[in-house]
Amino acid sequence: MKSSKNKIEEFIRVDHAGERGAVKIYEGQLLALNTFVKDENLKKVIEEMKVHEKEHCEFFETEIKKRKIKPTLFLPLWDLLGVGLGFGSTLLGKKAAMLCTASVEEVIDEHYQNQINQLGSDEKN
Ligand SMILES: [Fe+2]
């Protein structure tokens, strides 16, 4: 059985990778929107979403440093997959891009709720 500290470290490691992955997906989408796909409205929406994801990612980066947690070794692979997924889904069109984004957000919401349910009140933040 994992200690509470280990569990929280694992949560933060996974959350950090997830938020960074989200930033990379948006970067991939913006790459497509700055090259092959011309859609200024979608670009604006994605840019805004990327700002939020960057805030989330920075939160976990601070936590990782503060708590001296090792980030996952798979980060470079994660980056590559995120950019590829964002780029590829946006090449398919606006619907595919938004479907990709909405699906990721839905999974993340569930994931965080699941973690919250497992945390004690001292780690509410
Ligand atoms: Fe996020």
Does residue 115 fall inside a structural domain? yes
Q: How far is the CA of 85 from the centre of ligand 1 (A)?
A: 16
**Token match 């990721």: residue?**
104
Prediction pTM value: 0.91
With both helix axes pointing from N to C terminus, report the angle between 75-91 and 4-33 in degrees, rounded to the nearest 10: 40
Does residue 72 fall inside a structural domain? yes
Q: How far is the CA of 96 from the centre of ligand 1 (A)?
A: 19
Does residue 65 fall inside a structural domain? yes
Cβ–Cβ < 8 Å for 82, 53: no
Q: How far is the CA of 52 from the centre of ligand 1 (A)?
A: 7
Domain carrying residue 47: 4-120
Q: How far is the CA of 50 from the centre of ligand 1 (A)?
A: 9
Amino acid, single-letter form, for residue 20: R
Does residue 125 fall inside a structural domain? no
Tally the domains of the chain: 1
User: Which 3 state secondary structure label does DSSP give 120?
Assistant: coil
Does residue 81 fall inside a structural domain? yes
Cβ–Cβ < 8 Å for 22, 58: no
- pLDDT of 61-115, one tens digit each? 999 999 999 999 999 999 999 999 999 999 999 999 999 999 988 998 999 999 9
Does residue 108 fall inside a structural domain? yes
